[in-house]
Structure 1
Amino acid sequence: MSKVSFIKGIVTVPIVFVLLAGSSVTKAASDEPMPATDATISANKAFYEQLNFKDKEDFKNAHKGFIAPLNMNPIKNSKGDVVWDSNRYSFIKEDQPASLTVNPSLWRQAQLQNITGLFKVVDGVYQVRGQDLSVLTIVEGKTGLIVLDTLSTIETAKAAMELYFEHRPKNPVSAIVISHSHADHFGGMKGIAQYAENPAKVPIIVPAGFNDEALSENILLGNIMSRRAGYMFGNLLPASERGFVTSGIGPGLSNGTFSYFPPTMEVKDDIQTVEIDGITFKFLLTPDSEAPSEMHYYINDYKTLVVAENTGHTLHNIYTLRGAKTRDTLKWVKALDETVDLFGNEDIDAMVTAHTWPIWGRDDVLEQLESQRDLYKYIHDQTIRLANLGLTPDEIAEELKLPEKLDKVWANRGYYGTLKHNVKAVYNFYLGYFNGNPSDLDPLPQEESGAKYVQYMGGEKKVIKQAKLDYKRGEYRWVAQVLKHVVMANPKNTEAKNLLAKAYEQLGYTAESSVWRNFYLTGADELRNGVADSKGSGGMMNLDTLLNMPMDDFLKFLSIKLNGMKAENKNMTFNLTFTDSKTNYTIDLNNSVLNFKKGKMASNPDAALTLDRITFYQIALGREDLSKMEAAGKVAISGDKKQFEDFLTLLDQFQPKVNIVTP
Structure 2
Amino acid sequence: MPADGPDGLVNVGLGFWYRNPAFSTITPGYVPVTHPVGESASLTIAGLKVKMKHSPSDCDDSVNMYFPALETCVHNSVWPTVFNVFAIRGEEYRDPRVLIPGIDHIINWSPSFMVATHGPALVGKDNIREKATRYRDSLQYMWDQSVRGINKGWTMDEVSSRISLPALYDEDYLTSERYGVVEHHLRQIFIGLRGWFDGDESKLFPVEPKERYAKLIAGFGGREEVARQAQAALEANDVRWATELSTWLARSAGATIADRALLASCLRVIAERTPAANIRNWAITRARHLDGSMPMDRFMRHTFSSGVLRTTPSDELIATLRVLVEPSAIDGMNHHIAFHIDDVLCGLHVRNGVAVPTTGANADSTVVMSQKTLHALLKGSVLWSDMVAESSVSINGDVGAVDRFRKALENKGFSS
The normalised TM-score by structure 2 is: 0.87
What code does the residue aligned with 1:328 have? Answer: D
Q: Is the 8 A contact 2:318 2:347 kept in 1?
A: no
Shift, 1:238, TM fit? 3.9
The SS at the match of 1:436 is: coil
Q: Select the residue among 313, 329, 346 that pairs with 1:566.
A: 329
* Counterparts of 1:281 and 1:387, CA distance in 2: 42
Q: CA RMSD in A?
A: 3.1
* Counterparts of 2:222 and 2:240, CA distance in 1: 21
What code does the residue aligned with 2:351 have? Answer: N
Q: Select the residue among 99, 104, 108 that pairs with 1:337.
A: 104
* Counterparts of 1:325 and 1:556, CA distance in 2: 21
* Counterparts of 1:577 and 1:526, CA distance in 2: 41
Q: Is the 8 A contact 2:329 2:404 kept in 1?
A: no
The SS at the match of 2:198 is: coil
Query: Residue 251 in 1 paired to residue 16 in 2?
Result: yes
Shift, 1:576, TM fit? 3.6
Query: Residue 269 in 1 paired to residue 38 in 2?
Result: yes
* Counterparts of 1:414 and 1:608, CA distance in 2: 54
Distance 1:307 1:445, change over 3 A: same
CA shift digits 1:123-151 (9 cap, x unpaired): xxxxxxxxxxxxxxxxxxxxxxxxxxxxx
Task: Percent identity, please.
Answer: 21
Q: Select the residue among 70, 75, 84 that pairs with 1:317.
A: 84
Shift, 1:239, TM fit? 2.7
Distance 1:371 1:485, change over 3 A: same
* Counterparts of 1:333 and 1:498, CA distance in 2: 43
The SS at the match of 1:565 is: helix
Distance 1:383 1:615, change over 3 A: same
What code does the residue aligned with 2:327 have? Answer: G
CA shift digits 1:374-400 (9 cap, x unpaired): 110110011110111011111111111
What code does the residue aligned with 2:215 have? Answer: K
Q: Is the 8 A contact 2:73 2:106 kept in 1?
A: no
Q: Is the 8 A contact 1:451 1:488 kept in 2?
A: no
CA shift digits 1:5-27 (9 cap, x unpaired): xxxxxxxxxxxxxxxxxxxxxxx
Quote the residue 2:61 is aligned against.
293
* Counterparts of 1:565 and 1:425, CA distance in 2: 33
What code does the residue aligned with 1:276 have? Answer: I
Shift, 1:262, TM fit? 5.4
Q: Select the residue among 592, 598, 622 that pairs with 2:353.
A: 592
The normalised TM-score by structure 1 is: 0.56
The SS at the match of 2:328 is: coil
Shift, 1:562, TM fit? 1.3
Distance 1:533 1:317, change over 3 A: closer
Quote the residue 1:510 is aligned against.
273
The SS at the match of 2:38 is: coil
Written as runs of structure 1 = structure 2, the 5 A alignment for 1:616-635 is 616-619=374-377, 622-624=380-382
* Counterparts of 1:417 and 1:293, CA distance in 2: 22
The SS at the match of 2:411 is: coil
Shift, 1:559, TM fit? 0.6
The SS at the match of 1:594 is: strand
Q: Is the 8 A contact 1:416 1:514 kept in 2?
A: yes
* Counterparts of 1:619 and 1:525, CA distance in 2: 31
Shift, 1:626, TM fit? 5.7
Shift, 1:282, TM fit? 2.4
Written as runs of structure 1 = structure 2, the 5 A alignment for 1:406-485 is 406-485=169-248
Distance 1:636 1:457, change over 3 A: closer
Q: Is the 8 A contact 2:333 2:350 kept in 1?
A: yes
Q: Is the 8 A contact 1:572 1:606 kept in 2?
A: yes
* Counterparts of 1:534 and 1:383, CA distance in 2: 36
Q: Select the residue among 400, 408, 413 that pairs with 1:650.
A: 408
Quote the residue 1:394 is aligned against.
157
Quote the residue 1:202 is aligned against.
none
The SS at the match of 1:608 is: strand
* Counterparts of 2:380 and 2:407, CA distance in 1: 9
The SS at the match of 2:41 is: strand
Written as runs of structure 1 = structure 2, the 5 A alignment for 1:125-164 is none
What code does the residue aligned with 1:410 have? Answer: Y
* Counterparts of 2:382 and 2:319, CA distance in 1: 20
Distance 1:494 1:323, change over 3 A: same
Quote the residue 1:383 is aligned against.
146
Shift, 1:625, TM fit? 5.4
Q: Select the residue among 341, 349, 365 that pairs with 1:607.
A: 365
Q: Unaligned regions of 5+ residues in structure 1, if any?
A: 1-235, 656-663
* Counterparts of 1:506 and 1:628, CA distance in 2: 49
The SS at the match of 1:595 is: strand
- Number of equivalent positions: 409
* Counterparts of 1:442 and 1:518, CA distance in 2: 33
Shift, 1:257, TM fit? 2.9
The SS at the match of 2:59 is: coil
Q: Is the 8 A contact 1:446 1:485 kept in 2?
A: no
Query: Residue 327 in 1 paired to residue 88 in 2?
Result: no
What code does the residue aligned with 1:574 have? Answer: I
CA shift digits 1:20-49 (9 cap, x unpaired): xxxxxxxxxxxxxxxxxxxxxxxxxxxxxx
Distance 1:531 1:410, change over 3 A: closer
* Counterparts of 1:356 and 1:301, CA distance in 2: 23
